[in-house]
Amino acid sequence: MPVSEAQQQEIEQLRDASVPTLRATVPALEDMLYRALPVLDQGFIRVIDYMGDDAAVVQAARVSYGRGTRMVSEDRGLLRYLMRHRHTTPFEMCEIKFHVKLPVFVARQWIRHRTASVNEYSARYSILNREFYIPAPDQLSAQSQDNRQGRGAVLQGDEAIRVLDILREDAARNYADYQEMLNEDDEGNVIDPNRQGLARELARMNLPLNIYTEWYWKCNLHNLLHFLSLRADPHAQYEIRVYAEAMMQALRAWVPLTAEAFEDYRMGSVHLSAAGLDVVKRLLAGEDVTVKDSGLAPREWRELMASLGRAG
Amino acid sequence: MPVSEAQQQEIEQLRDASVPTLRATVPALEDMLYRALPVLDQGFIRVIDYMGDDAAVVQAARVSYGRGTRMVSEDRGLLRYLMRHRHTTPFEMCEIKFHVKLPVFVARQWIRHRTASVNEYSARYSILNREFYIPAPDQLSAQSQDNRQGRGAVLQGDEAIRVLDILREDAARNYADYQEMLNEDDEGNVIDPNRQGLARELARMNLPLNIYTEWYWKCNLHNLLHFLSLRADPHAQYEIRVYAEAMMQALRAWVPLTAEAFEDYRMGSVHLSAAGLDVVKRLLAGEDVTVKDSGLAPREWRELMASLGRAG
Amino acid sequence: MPVSEAQQQEIEQLRDASVPTLRATVPALEDMLYRALPVLDQGFIRVIDYMGDDAAVVQAARVSYGRGTRMVSEDRGLLRYLMRHRHTTPFEMCEIKFHVKLPVFVARQWIRHRTASVNEYSARYSILNREFYIPAPDQLSAQSQDNRQGRGAVLQGDEAIRVLDILREDAARNYADYQEMLNEDDEGNVIDPNRQGLARELARMNLPLNIYTEWYWKCNLHNLLHFLSLRADPHAQYEIRVYAEAMMQALRAWVPLTAEAFEDYRMGSVHLSAAGLDVVKRLLAGEDVTVKDSGLAPREWRELMASLGRAG
Amino acid sequence: MPVSEAQQQEIEQLRDASVPTLRATVPALEDMLYRALPVLDQGFIRVIDYMGDDAAVVQAARVSYGRGTRMVSEDRGLLRYLMRHRHTTPFEMCEIKFHVKLPVFVARQWIRHRTASVNEYSARYSILNREFYIPAPDQLSAQSQDNRQGRGAVLQGDEAIRVLDILREDAARNYADYQEMLNEDDEGNVIDPNRQGLARELARMNLPLNIYTEWYWKCNLHNLLHFLSLRADPHAQYEIRVYAEAMMQALRAWVPLTAEAFEDYRMGSVHLSAAGLDVVKRLLAGEDVTVKDSGLAPREWRELMASLGRAG
């Protein structure tokens, strides 16, 4: 269960304490504030705080004085122009903070984005909970045969059952051994008074990479979009993509015009090289271009034809 | 005049539009929001937005769930511990955005802090106003004789008058020449219909470094404290220090416990090297230490004695 | 003159002092090392140091052990793949350091790239030289009529002469006044023993933005490519673009395969949105698409048609 | 064994290929280049490349032209001044690249330093080796009783034996299960042709945090010193500290004057708050200060007395 009953009560308390502010405020994101969006079997994201809105991006682009009085249609046009032409600094003027619960192997991918602020639950100080990610059966994919970094068909029958058994049993045993090394049981009591218990910073090394951790993760809107463009992408590993997709929901509530422009111009967009553009122009002029006279390497040619929806 | 009447009206309008929020909110900073704190002769800082409060730092340090229920005295102790031991990541969880009007030569120092987001008024697109920093008479300091990077006594009599005359006359003439090159007068009208007018991106190169510019500047609390530790310091040039001091007012309103810990542990603190600490220990033991047997270079010895308030 | 005779001698001395190294070394860049490439009327860039080569990027991508043994053709293919798919971290493994002399208004644009290390000549400590950028006559462009951030036709006749006169005279006078305020002449002698001289950190504010400054500027290959993609672009202001173009020469000498891939896939490439791609597909299918049924805003339609080389 | 025989041969080949360069070169670091310094039971660090030397820091501080001609004694004084007064930007002018083999739980601490460039071995693409960190018996410490983040006495007798057995057995079983899920044996052969094998990106989640990984890690000298000040510190966990200590050897070979200044002024230095400095001054004046009239909280008082080597 991602969120305990006590946590749920605390969330409700926080949601009862409305106060007045003069800051830019977004009612649709206020509706989501503090609430957990479940992700994977035991994870979640929660929006804890935010700063700015679509208008703050516009204001920074105009370096206008005050929050501005232009009509929304003009703001939308400006935001789309900024997104299309990759004018990124105005998007840095908004900030968002998430509370995330996620498996350690996902955290290891995630942390490679260096432009965020992070405070993670410390397994040097504290004891991790017995919570492990076990994939749903429809996510138990085989290794892809043609892409070293991808998934193939879903495992079936005995092989699937065996994998789930291994993951569950190894997690259970490694966690039990973690507790034995710590000499501490589920209630925090000493197991054997004649033993000292291994230091937490050492015992943790026995835990497998599917154990859950938690962190606060805060970044600006520009860096969030960069994260989402990589992690909400079909090439991202499923287990991080579902977090990115939950964050997309928060994005749409928070900055709807920016989110729309982002989905139109960056998600699903393609990049044409000068040589690729030349091929497109020749095709449009009715020429019958082949890989041989295209000036492209075979791999680039295949990528280009695929993005144009043509047989290579 | 730092703020025009129209701008003042806009500020008052923004200050009338209170809305409810569930976010962490700081009434003392809300009182300052949007208002201009005057700095130098024509500059200002204004707080435009903020995110988080002292409790947000504490929460990140505890990676607790929810905003926490501990008493303030414990929060204060934890914040002071974090500051004393330079545990900096929890302070990254708060964010603040300023609107600043400042001379270009000050902006050139300021921008060296690379960990902030900036959107500046563009002199490629737009025409700068006729606003120049002219120092107050008590800031017209001579070059220091013993510190290549410092100020000496204040200039007096004819020399002071002459400097002010130069600064005013050169600013006026260069600005008039800027307009002539642009072929555009104060009202934005073409001066001479037979001329084309030089491109703005070129004409601006004639403006002296004391002309005012404006920007939005946003950073997290950790980076703000780093900025303030360098720029609110007596070694900083007066013209940037007064901005840092105005930001200190905002800091105290925003995160009073963090500000207190910052002033106690970082402003006015000293750093003792291992060798310097050894000298202090020997002095405390009643030994009569001299520069010769101190193990310190003469310059370090003088610096240490000065910080201990002793004759070298 | 960009480089004095004494500086030229020092460069030759540095170029005579070859030593052995086991590091990755690029003869073509060694040929350029320390030498000044002139830029604008009095500026330059010089490559002072570098680390890594094309193979270092490949090695990081493979996280192979040692420098690898694959054939160059494979390295080239991998580099092009990384560039095409924006896999950027391997390019961070190379580093380059430049010494640059440039006008202050160019330095103000340049410094907005925050991911580099910079050490600039200090006008708080030291006195700036009497060196100002005066545009060549063919760069004296009028303000563009249809682009607020661009240049139009070159100024002619009296208007051009008048602009050059203004720039030269204001620079000369402001510099003379700078010296008078400092109370110091060209040889560093006191002008009037009865005056104190204004502090350097104050006197500099009278200098116009076309005065030259110098800095060391160091960044990794990934950030350099990002800088070049923005600043070697036709939309960049001419005065910074010529620096970027000189740096492109160094790039081609240093990492020829990376430079080739960069020019093929990033310079002159275009970005198609999902909706823009849809238009291209419909056009390729022989459909007669108009702005009205394209799903694009008029501005986007014009941009797309322009990049496809078609009448809008 | 940290380095295989094949790897050792490759290192020797690289070390045989000396070429001439005009760049700043440090013979003492050339001696270490490519060679593995063993760390922990199976880890290492290797210096793969570097840029700059002590003189490059001095040059940046002086923004002098060319590599400079001052005597070493002056360079040393300037470097010590920069270190003492935390003038950090000149240290950014040098760069170093390491190849590191380290356990994943150490990598998780290490990666929190965001100012470096990293390329890590990918367990999405590739299969990790069967190499796990097993602590030496004298590092099997109990949890500290008075410091939640520290180690106490070393475990003895049966408890120590039991911990080592658990770590070895769980590592062996989890790795065997990893291979079974992958359906691939040590030689890379399919185990069971009737099974598909789980995707690598999923199977890795079963591996415990003491498995070894590898990366290239590159940063500038300023950020390296910051890393070392935190990680070569006695408060750092032993398993990361030993890496920092090996990097200190490289630091001393590379930039001996900077390393000396770093060890004198940052390692083993203490920070005195304004209030703490006041206590020291009163003690030096012969006053008998107690915690009560010190103005310090009890915890700060204890920390101050400890650093002065006095009974609290």
Average pLDDT of B237-260?
98
| Chain B residues whose beta carbon lies within 8 Å of the beta carbon of residue C166 | 177, 180-181, 206
Cβ C283–A281 below 8 Å, yes or no? no
**Binding partners of D (≥3 Cβ pairs within 8 A):** A, B, C
Query: Which pLDDT tens digit goes with each residue over B280-298?
Result: 999 999 999 999 999 888 8
Look at residues D149, D300, D309 and name the one whose alpha carbon lies nearest to residue D234.
D149
Give the confidence band of D69 by pLDDT, cuts at 50, 70, 90: very low
What is the band of B270 on the pLDDT scale with cuts at 50, 70, 90?
confident
Mean pLDDT of chain B: 92
Per the structure, the count of domains in chain C is 3
Average pLDDT, chain A: 92
Q: Comparing C-alpha atoms, which of B239, B300, B152 is closest to residue D85?
A: B300
Which residues neighbour A74 within 8 Å (Cβ) at sequence distance 6 or greater? none
C122 and C249 co-located in one domain: yes
What is the rounded distance in angstroms from the CA atom of residue A161 to the CA atom of residue D202?
15
Contact assignment for B81 to D299 by CB distance below 8 Å: yes
* Helix, strand or coil, per DSSP, at residue D215: strand
Residue with the larger pLDDT of the pair D32 and B299: D32
Q: Which of D22, D31, D67 to mutate to test the interface with C (most CBs of C within 10 A)?
A: D22
Whether residue B251 lies inside any domain: the answer is: yes
Tell me, what's the pLDDT at C149? 72
Average pLDDT over residues A70-96: 87
Tell me the DSSP string of C208-258: BTTBEEEEEEEEEHHHHHHHHHHHSSTTS-HHHHHHHHHHHHHHHHH-HHH
Distance from the Cα of A25 to chain D's closest Cα (Å) equals 31
Average pLDDT for residues A103-122, to the nearest whole number?
95
Judge whether residue D258 has pLDDT over 50: yes
At residue B63 the predicted structure's pLDDT band, cuts being 50, 70 and 90, is: confident
> Is residue A64's pLDDT more than 60?
no
Name the closest residue on chain A to residue D161, using Cα atoms: A181
A with B: how many residue pairs have Cβ under 8 Å apart?
136
Q: What pLDDT is attached to residue A225? A: 98
Instruction: Measure in Å the smallest separation between the Cα of C218 and chain A Cα atoms.
Output: 20
Residue B16 has pLDDT above 80, yes or no: yes
Site from B112, B148, B201 to mutate, C interface, most C CB atoms within 10 angstroms: B201
Residue C250, min C-alpha distance to chain D (Å): 15
Nearest CA to CA, how far is A87 from chain C (Å)? 10
pLDDT of A73? 60
For residues B115 and B226, membership in a common domain is answered with yes
Helix axes B298-307, B274-284, angle to 10 degrees: 60
CB C148 within 8 A of CB B125: yes
Please list the alpha-helical segments (H only) found in C136-237: 157-182, 200-203, 221-231
Task: State the DSSP code for D144.
Answer: P
| B73 confidence band (pLDDT: 50, 70, 90) | low
pLDDT of residue A69 exceeding 70, the answer is no
D3-15: average pLDDT:
91
pLDDT of residue A282: 94
Residue B69 pLDDT class (50, 70, 90 cuts):
very low
Number of residues assigned to chain C: 312
Distance CA A294, CA C161 (A): 50
At A266-283, the pLDDT tens digits run 987 888 988 899 999 999
Tokens of D217: 């890690």
Of residues B98, B88, C86, C107, the one with CA closest to residue D115: B88
Where is average pLDDT lowest: B146-160, C216-230, D195-209?
B146-160
SS3 labels along chain A: CCCCHHHHHHHHHHHHCCEEECCCCCHHHHCCCCCEEEECCCEEEEEEEEECCHHHHHHHHHCCCCCCCCCHHHHHHHHHHHHHCCCCHHHHHCEEEEEEEEEHHHHHHHCCCCCCEEEECCCCCCCCCCCECCCCHHHCEEECCCCCCCEEEECCHHHHHHHHHHHHHHHHHHHHHHHHHHCECCCCCECCCCCCCECHHHHHHHCECCEEEEEEEEEEHHHHHHHHHHHCCCCCCHHHHHHHHHHHHHHHHHCHHHHHHHHHHCCCCEEECHHHHHHHHHHHCCCCCCCCCCCCCHHHHHHHHHHCCCCC
Q: Are A109 and A58 in contact (CB under 8 A)?
A: no
Residue D66: its pLDDT value, please?
Answer: 41
* Rounded-to-integer distance, Cα B115 and Cα D214, Å: 29
**Cβ contacts of B151 on chain C, cutoff 8 Å:** 199, 201-202
Residues of B labelled as active-site residues = 231
Best B94, B95, B111 residue to mutate vs chain A (most A CBs within 10 Å)? B95
Q: Which residues contact D256 (CB under 8 A, 6 or more apart)?
A: D28, D54
Q: Regarding predicted confidence, which is higher, A123 or D244?
A: D244
Of these residues, D231, D241, D252, D302, which one is catalytic? D231
Q: At what angle do helices A238-254 and A256-265 cross, to 10 degrees?
A: 130
pTM given for the model: 0.95
Residue B312 lies in a domain: no
Interchain contact, C95 vs D92, CB within 8 Å: no
Q: Which residue of A has its CA nearest to D193?
A: A159
Whether pLDDT at A4 is above 90: no
In this complex, the chains that touch B, judged by 3 or more CB pairs closer than 8 A, are A, C, D
Of all helices (H) and strands (E), which one includes residue C264?
helix C256-265
**Final residue in a domain of this structure, among A206, A237, A256:** A206
> Residue B131 falls within a domain, yes or no?
no
pLDDT of residue D64: 53
Cβ-based interface (< 8 Å): residues of D facing B: 77, 80-81, 84, 86, 89, 112, 264-265, 267-277, 280-281, 283-284, 297, 299-300, 303, 307-310
CATH number of domain containing C246: 3.30.1360.170
- pLDDT for D6 equals 87
Look at A25 and B21 and tell me if their CB atoms are within 8 Å: yes
> Is the confidence at residue D61, as pLDDT, over 70?
yes
**Structure confidence at residue B312 as a pLDDT band (50, 70, 90):** low
Chain A CB contacts of B92 under 8 Å are: 117, 218
Catalytic residue among A46, A200, A204, A231: A231
Determine phi and psi for B212, rounding to 5 degrees. -85, 145
φ, ψ at A152 (rounded to 5°): -105, -140
Q: Which two tokens stand for residue D278?
A: 């006041």
- Could you tell me if residue A312 is inside a domain? no
CA distances from C5 to A51, C2, C8, C11, C213 (A): 55, 10, 5, 10, 19
Q: Flag whether B288 is in a domain.
A: yes
pLDDT at res. D270: 87
In whole angstroms, give the CA distance from residue B257 to residue A60: 31
Choose the mutation target among C265, C272, C299 for the interface with A, i.e. most A CBs under 10 Å: C272
Q: How far apart are CA B148 and CA A174, in angstroms?
A: 64
Q: Is the C-alpha dihedral spanning D271, D276, D280, D283 positive or negative?
A: negative
Q: How many C-beta neighbours within 10 Å does residue B269 have?
A: 18
The residues, any chain, with a CB within 8 Å of residue B118's CB and separated by 6 or more, are A89, B111, B215, B216, B217, B218, C112
Last residue of a domain, one of D166, D187, D206: D206
Closest chain C CA to residue A280: C308
pLDDT at B110: 97
CA distance C300 to chain B (A): 22
Q: Which domain holds residue D178?
A: 137-206
Return d(Cα D131, Cα D212) in angstroms, integer: 6
Token pair of C220 as six digits = 């990794």
A133/D205 CB distance under 8 A: yes
Of A30, A63, A118, the CB nearest to B119: A63
The per-residue pLDDT for range D207-249, each reduced to its tens digit, is 999 999 999 999 999 999 999 999 999 889 999 999 999 999 9
Residue D233 falls inside a structural domain: yes
Do D154 and D174 share a structural domain?
yes
D308–B267: do the CB atoms touch at under 8 Å? no
Residue B236 lies in a domain: yes
**Measured between CA atoms, how close is C132 to chain A, in angstroms?**
30
pLDDT tens-place string over residues B75-86: 898 999 999 888
B153 HSE (CA, 13 A, CB side): 6
A240, two tokens: 């991080």
Nearest to A118 by CA among A137, A138, A91, A99: A99
Coil, strand or helix at D129: coil
Task: Please answer yes or no on whether D297 and B271 come within 8 Å at the CB atom.
Answer: no
Alpha helix ranges (H) inside chain D:
5-15, 27-30, 54-62, 72-84, 104-110, 157-182, 200-203, 221-231, 238-254, 256-265, 274-284, 298-307
When mean pLDDT is compared over A136-145, D29-38, D56-65, the highest value belongs to: D29-38
Q: Determine the pLDDT at residue D73.
A: 61
Best of D147, D148, D271 to disrupt the B interface (most B CBs within 10 Å) is D271
Contacts of B62 in chain D (CB under 8 A): none
Report the greatest alpha carbon distance in chain B.
85
Q: Do A270 and C269 touch (CB under 8 A)?
A: no
Chain B positions touching C174 (Cβ under 8 A) are 170, 174, 208
Please judge whether D199 and A163 are an interchain contact, meaning their C-beta atoms are less than 8 angstroms apart: no
Residue A146 confidence (pLDDT) above 90: no
Same domain, A154 and A247: no
Q: Tell me, yes or no, whether A148 and A254 share the same domain.
A: no
Nearest-Cα residue of chain C relative to residue B161: C181
Residues in C touching A274 (Cβ below 8 Å) = 264-265, 267-269
Which among B77, B273, B303 has CB closest to D269? B273
Q: What is the rounded CA–CA span in Å between residue A241 and residue A231?
A: 5
C312 found inside a domain: no
Contact B272 D267 (CB under 8 A): no
Residues A122 and A154 in one domain: no
- Classified as helix, coil or strand, C100 is strand
Residues B18 and B112 both lie in one domain:
yes
Residues B196-216, mean pLDDT to the nearest whole number: 97
User: Do D38 and D99 have their domain in common?
Assistant: yes
Q: Chain A contacts of D181, Cβ < 8 Å?
A: 163, 166
Q: Burial, A281: exposed, middle or buried (Cβ in 10 Å; 0-12, 13-18, 19+)?
A: middle
Q: Report the residue of chain A nearest B49, measured CA to CA.
A: A23
Predicted ipTM of the assembly: 0.93
> What is the rounded distance in angstroms from the CA atom of residue C44 to the CA atom of residue D151?
57
Q: For residue C67, what are its two tokens? A: 């420098």
State how far the Cα of D5 lies from the Cα of D273, in Å rounded to an integer. 54
| Contact yes or no for A19 and B19 at CB 8 A | no
Contact A47, A26 (CB under 8 A): no
Q: Which among D215, A117, D105 is positioned nearest to B57, based on CA atoms?
A: A117
**Is residue A217 located within the same domain as residue A103?**
yes
Q: How close C102 comes to chain B (CA, Å)?
A: 13
Instruction: Give the containing element (helix H, strand E) for C80.
Output: helix C72-84
DSSP C49-73: EEE--HHHHHHHHHT-SSS----HH
User: Are A114 and A252 in a shared domain?
Assistant: yes
CA distance A308 to B6: 53
Q: Are residues D179 and D218 in the same domain?
A: no
Residues D121 and D21 in one domain: yes
Contacts of C49 (CB under 8 A, 6+ apart): C96, C97, C218, D23, D24, D51, D52, D56
- Closest-CA residue to C229 (of C218, C239, C241): C241
Q: Which residue has the higher pLDDT, A150 or A19?
A: A19
Q: Which residues of A touch D115 (CB under 8 A)?
A: 114
Residues of chain C with pLDDT under 70: 1, 64-73, 148, 312
Contact between chains at B111 and C115 (C-beta distance less than 8 A): no
Contact B143 C206 (CB under 8 A): no
